[in-house]
Amino acid sequence: MIIEQIYTGCLAQGAYYIESNGEVAIIDPLREVQDYIDRAENNNAKIKYIFETHFHADFVSGHVTLAEKTGAKIVYGPTAKTSFDAIIAEDNQVFKVGDITITLLHTPGHTMESSCYLLKDENGKDHALFSGDTLFLGDVGRPDLAQKGDITEKDLAGFLFDSLRNKVMPLADDVIVYPAHGAGSACGKNLSKETVGTIGNQKETNYALRADMTKEEFVKEVTDGLLPPPAYFPLNVQMNKEGYQDIEDVIKNSAKPLSVNDFEIIANETDAIILDVRHQSEFIKGFIPQSIFIGVDGGFAPWVGALIKDTKQPILLVSENGREEEVITRLSRVGFDNVLGYLEGSFDSWKKNDKEYDTLESVSVDVLEEKIKEKALVFDVRKPGEYASEHIKVAESTPLDFLNKHISDFPKKQEFYVHCAGGYRSVIAASILKARGFHNVIDVAGGYAAIRNTNIERTDAVCPSTLK
């Protein structure tokens, strides 16, 4: 038996390759599926099943493409409705893969079709639980993403409580837990950085599995402090339910090099967003006016989804030379398939053609310290929880996730400073503000990590886990 966790850090997502005696099951595959096919072929094995734990909201799964390429059967839990052929399994339905079995455990709560998959080894012993978004390490899935009709998030939280108590917690302590997500995912509130655990460990450490917890306490704690989900979530759910283009076609249609003149013409004649994905240190030195910066080496795909919102939005790319296909692939993982092309020769070609460009002022924390003494305006674009745990006393909270709601907070004429934790999100925020006409925005290099090394007056630190 082979079990491989294939973890994609930029999405905080775990897919799984399971093989036994020449047969393979894939759980929650990414949209680009060739790697799974290659693994199976290298082992002279055949992909038999594609198990989906639920309709994912934070990425486009590869189930449809993988089924088309391999003939494998897609499996969903009870109540799922799809526009493609799939096995809508019953609770406790057993699937044989080589010498092992995988049993579907219907665990509604995160969504109504949510299911876990229990793997029994060659001897019939419970070995591992692929827990999807029902159980994370340190947390459980948020219950507000699939509300329909009269079902509220509190109803879903109640279903999740029952699922955990009746289906998950009775399993033996040594059963391995393989979740769908880790820290950084928006599908939970406080996920662990670990990506593999056990049922026993979770019973000891996960707040949601406390033995003496009542359903009322569970519902309150799970629903308390939930931030609004990113706007692209329902669009990704729709693609996962109804199907989508093969990612190879997306790359073929999108990876088009555009000359400076062609790039400029398309930018002027369409409503395309110019998305600059170079490193922030390169962006601040020069960029095409109106560009939005979201660096590919940060939390790229989730930030694209959170800030651009409409997956059908046309995009023109400015990327580091040679990384264009990688960027297009990562955009397509979250459903952004409408890239019109990329600037051939990257930003250097734009400058060499004497085209107009913009820059972003970025200062050190030492400069910020002096400016605060002169009553400078400071805006903190970290998440609300980060701000609540510790912040510059004079800073206002304007989280990047909700920047549009705070546009009126920023002064039009007076210069102001923006910072985040390390200098990535603040450049994203500054690029958006510049595109909106706020040219008096100044980035603080190094963010709060560097601010901690100054004498800038800050609030007392509070452990985030104690915040409500």
Indicate the burial class of 390 (C-beta count within 10 angstroms; 0-12, 13-18, 19 or more).
middle
Task: Please say which residue of 208, 234, 260 terminates a domain.
Answer: 234
Strand partners, 342: 257, 317
- Residue range 349-393, pLDDT digits in tens: 999 999 999 999 999 999 999 999 999 999 999 999 899 999 999
Task: Please say which residue of 353, 378, 410 terminates a domain.
Answer: 353
Q: How confident is the prediction for the chain on average, in pLDDT?
A: 94
206 and 291, same domain (yes or no): no
Residue 10 pLDDT: 81
pLDDT band for 184, please (50, 70, 90 cuts). Answer: confident
Strand partners, 195: none
CA–CA separation, 154 and 74 (whole Å):
30
92: helix, strand or coil: coil
* Residue, of 12 and 22, whose pLDDT is higher: 22
Out of 1-15, 44-58, 122-136, 443-457, which region has the weakest mean confidence (pLDDT)?
A: 1-15
Q: Does a structural domain hold residue 240?
A: no
Q: 170: domain range?
A: 2-234
Total domains present in the chain:
3
464 pLDDT exceeds 60? no
40-62 average pLDDT score: 97
- Residue range 321-334, pLDDT digits in tens: 999 999 999 999 99
Which CATH number belongs to the domain containing residue 62 in this structure? 3.60.15.10
- Residue range 312-324, pLDDT digits in tens: 999 999 999 999 9
8-23 average pLDDT score: 94
465 pLDDT exceeds 80? no
Residue 176 pLDDT: 98
Q: Does a structural domain hold residue 239?
A: no
CB 100 within 8 A of CB 167: no
φ and ψ of 275, to 5 deg: -105, 115
Q: Does a structural domain hold residue 33?
A: yes
Residue 144 pLDDT: 83
Which CATH number belongs to the domain containing residue 443 in this structure? 3.40.250.10
Q: What is the DSSP string of 138-186?
A: S-B--S-SS--TT--HHHHHHHHHHHIIIIITTS-TT-EEEESB-TT-T
468 pLDDT exceeds 50? no
Q: Does a structural domain hold residue 419?
A: yes
141-154 average pLDDT score: 82
Q: How far is CA 274 from CA 246, 264, 327, in A?
A: 24, 10, 14
Out of 28-32, 176-180, 199-203, 227-231, which region has the weakest mean confidence (pLDDT)?
A: 227-231
366 and 272, same domain (yes or no): no
Task: Please say which residue of 299, 329, 353 terminates a domain.
Answer: 353
140-146 average pLDDT score: 86
- Residue range 259-315, pLDDT digits in tens: 999 999 999 999 999 999 999 999 999 999 999 999 999 889 889 988 998 999 999
